[in-house]
């Protein structure tokens, strides 16, 4: 057994040396595109395996009490170097002592000796508890806190980084679950739902698990408690800027999101990029190229006699003054709690422009421009809103009421088109003030079908499609419905009909990709269209649905339907139609 352990450690040392050697050679090689792609694929596979290795190593440090090694043992381990022999490794078993040592516990050893950040060390130990098991006060091993996720952590077909992240999320709500059998039932349900997301649609799993955790942390707080916490709070001056904190109800958040969606859309008047730059210049005084000639400039923007051009301060040494901000080309559609490293792989940003001019304003700054334009706009004498202009958007929010869920008194009977759950009180308030446009889903949709009488989809049809599908059809894409185009699944030029059942929403990128044959839309009898990815992206060849804008409960239902539909299709029990590109 001792020799086997020494050989395994020798293999790990060799793996490090091999990876370093390969990286040095590939970094200076003239790679072809295919070899570069394989290089990246192997690197990610290695990173996934390394995640497992790191958690196992943290568990081993704690279970063996490695922080109690004496000074001679630490010196012997350090002296092994990068290429030890089997015999040298076998001799470096180490001795623990009951006396005073350098480190208090495994976390102290990881931070003090291995130079791992304290928060990272703590996270790995928590992941070890959840996915591998820990030790009790008597030093006896304990079972993993999340056994279902523990099995997935060892599954080579599931990214262990996502599993480890999910374990951390679920561990963060352990105090919110309560105590006793009820708490255990809640934990098992959370674990089962999280495992289902990781297994069926990993691209959207992080977002849905974040939503599940947020629901647990929110609990059933009374409306008065929610109302006591909302408002706009001035936080004071920080780094030359005045900070405000917004806290709003979910229903209010839906209006804000809809307003920003229009500002983010360059095809609307409100989101016109050049117009936004001109409006921004009114607040900031920055120069803009928004006027065609000197005569069209307002008085404050014209050069005055005596004004002199002053050269800007030279850029700091080592900085490229012409380099674009890497974040200025992408909109942030990432849900709260989701970090940049694991952003959904769908197209969550605007199409990259031919030049960066109209994207000089970052998404955050564009939205501030729109907010300021709203505050400073003047209403017409009759009280009606001002004319459309850059930065001044309209907030149209769709709320889907599920009659069957309402009858069963389920919590998610009222959901906005962006997947935000509304409480019964918020839904009633919306019904009192909103313009009600009944859109009957799951019906025959005959009133909205235009057949061959019209090629383009009508506004009513697009409204129905947005309510039904909420966003782009491509799995994992986070482009909202307002930024998507209605796409004929039956080509019009080949006799296709402009009917709801023959339509789907796609963002500009994935609309083009479908027509280029990069993925296929599949028409399912009695169901929403699904997507079939090519074998190189999905070796399992499963029918898939984009659940990004669904609530966790809706997403689980949709994934179960996709699994069932795939099984029936493969068994020859269901006739599906793959749409032409």
> Across the beta sheet with 520-523, what order do the strands follow?
543-544, 530-532, 520-523, 577-578
Strands 414-416 and 231-238: unpaired
Mean of the per-residue pLDDT values for the chain?
A: 79
Does 373 or 382 have the greater pLDDT score?
373
Q: Tell me the helices (H) and strands (E) count for the chain, helix number first.
A: 19, 10
- Asked if residue 349 has pLDDT above 70, the reply is no
Per-position DSSP letters for 142-202, written without gaps between them: ---SSHHHHHHHH-TTS-HHHHHHHHHHHHTTTTTT-SHHHHHHHHHHHHHHHHHHHHH-H
Contact in structure between 161 and 51 (CB atoms under 8 Å): yes
- Asked if residue 41 has pLDDT above 90, the reply is yes
Structure-block tokens of residue 432: 């009192």
Structure-block tokens of residue 11: 């293999």
| pLDDT mean over 551-574 | 92
Chain length of the chain? 581
The answer to whether residue 27 sits within a structural domain is yes
Contact in structure between 210 and 167 (CB atoms under 8 Å): no
Per-position DSSP letters for 67-101, written without gaps between them: GGB-HHHHHHHHHT-SS--HHHHHH----B-SS--
Q: How confident is the model at residue 390 (pLDDT cuts 50, 70, 90)?
A: low
Count of CB atoms situated within 10 Å of the CB of 495: 8
Count of structural domains, the chain: 2
d(Cα 414, Cα 399) in Å, to the nearest integer? 7
d(Cα 234, Cα 236) in Å, to the nearest integer? 6
- Asked if residue 561 has pLDDT above 50, the reply is yes
Contact in structure between 217 and 170 (CB atoms under 8 Å): no
Q: What is the per-residue pLDDT across 246-274, written as a single tens digit (0 to 9) for each? A: 888 877 887 788 778 777 777 776 667 77
Contact in structure between 560 and 534 (CB atoms under 8 Å): no
Q: What is the per-residue pLDDT across 501-560, written as a single tens digit (0 to 9) for each? A: 888 999 999 999 999 999 999 999 888 899 999 999 999 999 999 999 888 988 999 999
The answer to whether residue 438 sits within a structural domain is no
The alpha carbon torsion through 21, 22, 25, 29 (nearest 10 deg) reads: -170
What lies within 8 Å, CB to CB, of 255 at 6+ separation is 395, 397
The answer to whether residue 164 sits within a structural domain is yes
The answer to whether residue 377 sits within a structural domain is no
The region of weakest confidence among 168-172, 228-232, 440-444, 561-565 is 440-444
Domain that holds residue 500: 446-578
d(Cα 475, Cα 544) in Å, to the nearest integer? 7
Domain boundary among 218, 243, 277: 218
Domain boundary among 158, 183, 218: 218
Residue 203: predicted pLDDT: 87
The answer to whether residue 138 sits within a structural domain is yes
Domain boundary among 218, 246, 276: 218
The answer to whether residue 166 sits within a structural domain is yes
The answer to whether residue 307 sits within a structural domain is no
Say which residue the tokens 């169901």 belong to: 527
Q: What is the per-residue pLDDT across 409-427, written as a single tens digit (0 to 9) for each? A: 777 788 877 677 777 777 7
The answer to whether residue 214 sits within a structural domain is yes
Residue 40: predicted pLDDT: 94
pTM, 2 dp: 0.69
Per-position DSSP letters for 14-27, written without gaps between them: HHHHHHHHHHHHHH
């Amino acid at each position: 057994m001792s020799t086997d352990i020494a050989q395994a450690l020798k293999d790990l040392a060799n793996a490090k040396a091999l990876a370093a050697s390969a990286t040095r050679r590939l970094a200076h090689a003239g790679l072809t595109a295919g070899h570069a792609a394989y290089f990246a694929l192997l690197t990610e596979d290695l990173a996934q395996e390394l995640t497992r290795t790191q958690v196992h190593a943290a568990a081993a440090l704690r279970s063996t009490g490695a922080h109690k090694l004496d000074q001679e043992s630490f010196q012997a381990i350090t002296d092994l170097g990068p290429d030890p022999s089997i015999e040298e490794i076998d001799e470096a078993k180490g001795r623990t002592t009951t006396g005073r040592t350098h480190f208090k516990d495994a976390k102290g050893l990881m931070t003090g000796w291995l130079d791992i950040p304290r928060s990272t060390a703590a996270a790995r130990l928590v992941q070890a508890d959840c996915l591998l098991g820990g030790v009790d006060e008597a030093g006896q091993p304990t079972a993993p806190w999340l056994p279902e996720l523990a099995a997935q952590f060892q599954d080579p077909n599931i990214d262990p980084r996502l599993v480890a992240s999910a374990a951390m999320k679920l561990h963060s709500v352990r105090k919110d679950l309560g105590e006793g059998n009820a708490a255990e039932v809640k934990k098992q349900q959370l674990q089962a739902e999280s495992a289902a997301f990781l297994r069926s649609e990993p691209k959207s799993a992080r977002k849905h698990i974040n939503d599940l955790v947020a629901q647990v942390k929110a609990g059933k707080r009374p409306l008065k408690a929610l109302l006591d916490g909302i408002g706009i709070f001035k936080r004071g001056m920080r780094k030359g800027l005045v900070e405000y904190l917004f806290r709003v109800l979910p229903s209010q958040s839906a209006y804000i999101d809809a307003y920003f969606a229009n500002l983010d859309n360059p095809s609307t008047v409100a989101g016109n990029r050049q117009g936004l730059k001109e409006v921004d210049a009114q607040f900031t005084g920055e120069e803009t190229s928004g006027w065609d000639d000197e005569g069209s400039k307002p008085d404050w923007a014209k050069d005055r006699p005596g004004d002199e051009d002053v050269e800007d301060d030279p850029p700091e040494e080592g900085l490229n003054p012409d380099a674009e901000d890497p974040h200025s080309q992408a909109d942030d559609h990432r849900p709260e709690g989701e970090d940049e490293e694991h952003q959904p792989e769908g197209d969550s940003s605007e199409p990259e422009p031919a030049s960066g001019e109209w994207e000089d304003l970052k998404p955050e700054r564009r939205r501030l421009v729109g907010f300021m334009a709203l505050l400073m706009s003047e209403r017409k004498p009759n009280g009606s809103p001002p004319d459309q202009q850059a930065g001044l958007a309209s907030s149209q929010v769709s709320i889907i009421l599920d009659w069957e869920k309402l009858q069963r008194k389920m919590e998610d009977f009222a959901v906005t088109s962006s997947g935000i759950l509304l409480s019964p009180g918020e839904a009633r308030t919306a019904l009192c003030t909103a313009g009600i446009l009944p859109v009957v889903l799951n019906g025959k949709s005959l009133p909205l079908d235009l057949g061959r009488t019209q090629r383009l989809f009508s506004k009513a049809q697009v409204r129905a499609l947005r309510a039904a599908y909420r966003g782009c059809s491509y799995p994992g894409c986070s482009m909202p419905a307002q930024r998507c185009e209605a796409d004929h699944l039956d080509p019009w030029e080949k006799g296709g009909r402009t009917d709801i059942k023959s339509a789907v929403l796609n963002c500009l990128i994935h609309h083009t990709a479908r027509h280029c044959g990069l993925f296929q839309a599949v028409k399912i009898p009695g169901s929403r269209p699904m997507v079939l990815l090519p074998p190189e992206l999905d070796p399992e060849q499963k029918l898939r649905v984009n659940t990004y804008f669904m609530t966790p409960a809706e997403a689980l239902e949709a994934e179960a339907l996709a699994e069932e539909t795939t099984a029936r299709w493969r068994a020859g029990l269901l006739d599906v139609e793959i749409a032409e590109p």
